[in-house]
Amino acid sequence: MEVLGHFIFELLKITFLGFVYSTVLYYIFKIIPENKKPQPLKSKKILWLFISSFLLFYMFTPYGNHGLGDSARIPISYTKEINNINWTKYGILKGIRTNDGNEVELTHFKVKNNTLCGNLSSDFYDFENDYFVYEIDSEKIVEFKNEIDYNRYAQKNKLPKSNELKSFEDNYRDYWSGWRFFLLP
């Protein structure tokens, strides 16, 4: 039910944003001479439909999808994301396995220089290491036994130290708030 409610809200938001964007563009392009104006810009309805369709499509791309209902997600690349269900303290990096063979579960993390740094923490798994660094481009994961080893590596490679890592909720708010919240679905 939460997913349906959130989806309906997103459709209403897309309708409203499409109306605002098409109105602004319509009046901006109204100053263009009629013979040089692109065909979709001659009608406000067609422009609204085009923009609303684009926003709906964008909502389902990796960089526009923030989750529906009780799920939340933060994209870290075009193919990788950190997921969270029911706003628990744990985030999951699906498809990436630790040295123990478990999926990466974390409570605090930060992305910097195209590298995901975080702790390994879970109620379900007993990880042998406490921290990890995941290089997004090369899809290489390096694990660290404890906080001291991780902080040494982080300082040497100009990455965030363990005290700079943020919770999923803080990372979500940092990524999706501001202009993305108001200007995108």
Nearest of 72, 52, 74, 71 to residue 63 by alpha carbon: 74
Rounded mean pLDDT, 125-139: 91
pLDDT the model gives residue 166: 96
pLDDT the model gives residue 170: 94
pLDDT the model gives residue 159: 96
pLDDT the model gives residue 39: 64
pLDDT the model gives residue 125: 82
Poorest-pLDDT segment among 145-149, 154-158, 166-170, 176-180? 176-180
pLDDT the model gives residue 107: 93
Nearest of 57, 53, 119, 69 to residue 91 by alpha carbon: 119
- pTM given for the model: 0.82
Half-sphere exposure of 94 (CA within 13 A, CB side): 10
pLDDT tens column, 33-78: 776 666 656 677 888 998 999 999 999 998 888 888 888 999 998 8
Higher pLDDT, 124 or 91: 91
